Amino acid sequence: MDARLRRVNKEIADCKNDKTSSIKIEMIDESPFHLKGSFVGPEDTPYAGGKFEVDIVIPESYPFQPVKMKFLTKVYHPNVSSQSGAICLDILKDAWSPVLTLKSTLISLQSLLCSPEPNDPQDAEVAKHYMTSRGSFEQTARYWAQIYAGAPGGDGKAVKQVDDEVAIAGLEKAHVDQFESLGFPRGKVIDVLRRLNYRGANVAQITDDRIVEELLK
């Protein structure tokens, strides 16, 4: 039997038999080379309790070349693209070793959520947010986990629809309101403030004129 097929089948079976772990791997269709993995967000992180799904593609030369993974669930994390779910993790690139398995790679992803690496970011805007104001970043990450990964959230339903965009962008409602009241469309205000990283200590450093200038572009 093809070594790659044997290995992948065994990996899937092992994962199924392991009832204690929170890691799951399922088939999407008939092919064992395109899978969907999922794990639970680690405790004591903004991602706690969420269910994170990962798209898994097994390349032809697996396990000698790394498996291809990206998040299907939207994640607010410096090393994960907030748009595409692409992941920046060394073991998915040069640090890959053939002894790593799908399960161990998913565990690595899980631990990546515990320990972001903002100096080697996949999403520069999120990384900036993380660096400037940790508290606000965690709030946004938690909010994303609640609405996209189904993490338990105290006031998940209480948040009004209008504020969703503001919270998703990790901004302060007061700031957005301030510039919206100048007559700029809300979406544009959010876009500009997010790009400028108008959060925490940065708020004092960025002048209103600079923002208006960006808004007028």
Partner 1 sequence: MDLGDDFKVSSKGKRKSYEVDYDSLSQSAVEKSMRDDAEHIRGILGVENDTAKLLLRHSEWNKEKLIESYMDTPTKVLVTAGIILPEVDPQSTPTPIRTQTSNSSSSRRPTRSTSKLLSSLSSGSRSSKSSSSSPTNHYSPPKVSKLSKSDEPFVCPICFDDDPKLRTMALSCDHSFCSNCWTNYLASKIRDEGEHYLRCMAEGCALVVPDGFIQSVLIPEPGAPIGDPAEEAENAKVWARFQELLVRHFVGCNPNLKFCPYPSCTNTVSCPSAASKLSLTTLVPIVSCGARGIGGQTLSQSQQSLGLQGKEHLFCFGCPIESDHRPVVCPVAKMWLKKCRDDSETANWIKSNTKECTNCQSTIEKNGGCNHMTCKKCKHEFCWVCMGPWSEHGTAWYSCNRYDEKAGQEARDSQSRSRASLERYLHYYNRWANHEQSAKLSVDLYAKTEKKMEEMQITSALTWIEVQFMKKAVEEVEKCRRTLKWTYAMAYYLAKGNEKELFEDNQRDLEKAVEDLSEILESPIEPENIPNIRQQVTNKTVYVQKRNEIVLEDTANGFLDGRWKWNATVDGFDDPDPSAIAL
Distance CA 122, CA 106 (A): 18
Stretch that binds partner 1, among 3-11, 25-33, 128-136, 138-146 (CB under 8 A): 3-11
41 DSSP 8-state letter? P
Q: Are residues 78 and 123 in contact, defined by beta-carbon separation less than 8 angstroms?
A: yes
Select from 16, 31, 61, 213 the one that contacts partner 1 (CB under 8 A). 61
- Which tokens is 181 given? 């009241």
User: Residues binding partner 1: what is the number (CB under 8 A)?
Assistant: 16
User: Among this protein's residues, is 88 annotated catalytic?
Assistant: yes
- What type of residue sits at position 37? G
Site for partner 1 in 92-111 (CB under 8 A): 97-101, 104, 107
Select from 3, 158, 204, 216 the one that contacts partner 1 (CB under 8 A). 3
3-state DSSP assignment of residue 25: strand
Distance CA 211, CA 174 (A): 15
CB of 168 to partner 1, least distance (A): 35
Q: Are residues 195 and 213 in contact, defined by beta-carbon separation less than 8 angstroms?
A: no
- Choice among 72, 88, 107, 203 that is catalytic: 88
Element (DSSP H or E) covering residue 68: strand 68-71
- Which tokens is 117 given? 């690496």
- Asked whether position 63 contacts partner 1 by CB under 8 A, the answer is yes
Q: Are residues 43 and 33 in contact, defined by beta-carbon separation less than 8 angstroms?
A: no
CB of 64 to partner 1, least distance (A): 4
- Asked whether position 65 contacts partner 1 by CB under 8 A, the answer is yes
CB of 3 to partner 1, least distance (A): 4
Q: Are residues 34 and 9 in contact, defined by beta-carbon separation less than 8 angstroms?
A: no
- Asked whether position 48 contacts partner 1 by CB under 8 A, the answer is no
Binding-site string for partner 1 from residue 7 to residue 46, where x marks contact by CB under 8 A and - marks none? x--x------------------------------------
**Active site positions, annotated:** 88
Q: Provide the binding-site residues for partner 1, judged by CB under 8 A.
A: 3, 6-7, 10, 61, 63-65, 91, 97-101, 104, 107
